Structure 1
Amino acid sequence: MLIVRPVTISDLPAIERLAIASGVGVTSLPANREKLFEKLQRSMSSFDNETVADAGNDYYMLVLEKDGEILGTAAIVAVAGFDEPFYSYRSETLVHASRALKVNNRIHALNMCHDLTGMVQLCGFFCEPQPESYTAELLSRARLMLIAGERQRFGRRIIAEMLGTHDVAGQSPFWDAIGRRFFNMDFPQVELAFAEHSKTFVAELMPPYPIYVPLLPDAAQHAIGQVHPAFEQPCNILVREGFEGDQYLDIFDGGAVLTAEIDRLFTLCHHDCLPVEIAASLPESAQEALLANTACAEFRSVVGKVAVADGVAWLNPDVARALCLTSGQQVRISALQGE
């Protein structure tokens, strides 16, 4: 059975393997053992943190496990840019007009900003292909089930950066048109620099002035707001949740930055918490659903069959065991969305 749970220090070798497999672009999952170890420690400390007023720097890393093997990981940053501004491009339309010449031009421009600083961030998503059709949905939405159960730890708005388009050599046409001119670094190099350090160097070297999109090469213009094929599935999962990506872009590759109101997301709006009863056999009315317990440090989420009757959720012993639940405890239930 696929189980999503908080990461532990013993998962470090597996997380390092996933970080290497994720390749260029998943900067929140750096292929650097020391940085990963720091993230694991920070995550464990965050899950154990009971002081909500102190939760600003919290970071929650979850892993997808099957028969003891780690197959994927995904994370939540409680406050994006807690230590420094969170940079992105804001897509805008500038109007250049002359009454004397009877000219009125609307020009697409990109402005560097840190509007998204302080928002909750979904990040670090990577999952190895599995035969179960719901694998990616379970791993992605388990984060929202955790947020639903620990709502006081998280703010009002949420973001998720999508990997933009790259060529077969891993180069980004958007970066080549803008960033390379100021950094003299190719895309993999700057992604590595960000993963190992921070985005502070962006503010130090990138121009603070608007970027006029019509002046960019065609390839760079076409890359704006696009999503890498490898990220189409996780992007679609978030779009079905209620995320939108029409205003902000990643400053490196121009990929879409999705945003949403947390309390309007599907998982937050459509879930129930019910007491559990355990039965060896469930009625035919039982259906597969996204399930989670209501714990924090011992959080668990699975996809399993549940039968709801008279305000009680009936689970089979295997599902209850995977969720660390016994009769009388609460289970959180949300419908699967599928493709």
Structure 2
Amino acid sequence: MYVVRPARTADLPAIEKMAVASGIGVTSLPNNREKLFERIQQSLDAFEHDADLDAGKEYYMFVLEAHGQVVGTASISACAGFDEPFYSYRSETFVHASRTLKVNNKVHVLTMCHDLTGLVQLCGFYSEPAIDALAIELLSRARFLFIASQQQRFGRRVVAEMQGIHDAAGQSPFWDAIGRRFFDMDFVEVEQAFASRSKTFIAELMPAYPIYVPLMPGAAQQAIGQIHPDFERPFGILGREGFEADNYIDIFDGGAVLTADVDRLYTVRTSSCHPVEVTASLPASANLRLASNEKVADFAATLVQAEVVDGVAFVNPDGALALGVASGDTIRLAPLQVGPEGEPA
């Protein structure tokens, strides 16, 4: 059985292995043992504290557990850029016109900004390659079940950066066209610097003036707003959840930046809370659903066979055990978006 729960200190070796396996591009899961340990400790503090303490600073790290083994991780930052601005490129159109020459040209430009600073940020997502589609959906959407349950801890807009295009050697055509010219560092080096150091170097070295896209090489232009193949499944889940590619891209690899209103997220809109009745004899109409308890430090989410009858959620004993609930407790249920074969439900 798959269970999503808060990360613990004992999970550090498994999370470190996933950070190594994730390669470049997932800067929110740094290949740095000390940084990972700090994030686990920050997460433990966030889960233990009341919502009004250190508002905005909280970082929540979750892990996906299968048969006692940690096989995935995903996080929520309550406030993107809490300590420093959250940088991105805003995609815009400039108009260059001359009445004398009767010329009116629209030109695509990229402008560095921190418009998205302060939004809730989804980050640190990684799952082992062999994990099936249902488990990946659980890992991603468990965060929305937690947000739905603990809305006082989060803002009303959420952002997620998608990994952009780079080749097998870790070279990014977008970075080569822009960032390399100002940093004199290759993509792998700057990703490592971004994950382990202060982000102020972005403002110090990146061009503050608009970048004219038509002046960029063709490969770099084609990379704008694209998503690395490894992120297609997470992207699909977020798309069904209600995220859209806004007018922003990642400043390093040009990958898509997705945003959504928390209240319009599919999981938030369709989930509902019910008292639990644990039974081995489920109604014939019971089907597989996402479920979570309403706890904070002991939060848990899993997939359960359940049915709601007269407002009561009937669940099987295995599901109740995974959630840490008993008859009379409250759980939150949400419909699946993909079926057992990985196709939309």
Q: Which residue of 2 aligns with 1:60?
A: 60
Q: Where does the alignment leave 5 or more consecutive residues of structure 1 unmatched? A: none
Contact kept? 2:290, 2:335, Cα under 8 Å: yes
- Mapped to 2, the partners of 1:132 and 1:219 lie a distance apart of 33
Deviations along 1:83-142, one digit per CA (max 9) or x if unpaired, are: 010000000000001111110000000000000000000000000134543011100000
Counterpart amino acid of residue 109 in structure 1: V
Report the identity percentage: 63
Q: How does 1:48-197 map to 2 (within 5 A)?
A: 48-130=48-130, 132-197=132-197
Aligned length, in residue pairs: 339
Shift of 1:199: 2.2
- Mapped to 2, the partners of 1:142 and 1:257 lie a distance apart of 21
- Mapped to 2, the partners of 1:283 and 1:53 lie a distance apart of 43
Counterpart amino acid of residue 295 in structure 1: K
Deviations along 1:63-83, one digit per CA (max 9) or x if unpaired, are: 000111000000000000000
Q: How does 1:38-57 map to 2 (within 5 A)?
A: 38-57=38-57
Deviations along 1:184-211, one digit per CA (max 9) or x if unpaired, are: 1000000000011132111000110000
Q: Which residue of 1 aligns with 2:32?
A: 32
1:306 aligns with 2:306: yes
Contact kept? 1:76, 1:121, Cα under 8 Å: yes
1:254 aligns with 2:249: no
Q: Which residue of 1 aligns with 2:341?
A: none
Contact kept? 1:46, 1:55, Cα under 8 Å: no
The TM-score normalised by the length of structure 2 is: 0.97
- Mapped to 1, the partners of 2:132 and 2:175 lie a distance apart of 36
Q: Which residue of 1 aligns with 2:11?
A: 11
- Mapped to 2, the partners of 1:90 and 1:164 lie a distance apart of 16
Q: Which residue of 2 aligns with 1:294?
A: 294
1:281 aligns with 2:286: no
Q: How does 1:313-332 map to 2 (within 5 A)?
A: 313-332=313-332
Deviations along 1:45-80, one digit per CA (max 9) or x if unpaired, are: 000011425221000000000111000000000000
- Mapped to 2, the partners of 1:23 and 1:291 lie a distance apart of 31
Q: How does 1:220-239 map to 2 (within 5 A)?
A: 220-239=220-239
How large is the RMSD of aligned CA atoms in angstroms? 0.9
Greater than 6 Å deviation, 4+ residue runs? none
Contact kept? 1:49, 1:55, Cα under 8 Å: no
Shift of 1:170: 1.1
Contact kept? 1:19, 1:31, Cα under 8 Å: yes
Deviations along 1:313-334, one digit per CA (max 9) or x if unpaired, are: 0011000000000101111000
Q: Secondary structure at the match of 2:236?
A: helix
Shift of 1:158: 0.4
Deviations along 1:13-40, one digit per CA (max 9) or x if unpaired, are: 1110110011111100011000000000
Counterpart amino acid of residue 266 in structure 2: F
Q: Where does the alignment leave 5 or more consecutive residues of structure 2 unmatched? A: 339-343
Shift of 1:156: 1.0
Shift of 1:306: 0.3
The TM-score normalised by the length of structure 1 is: 0.99
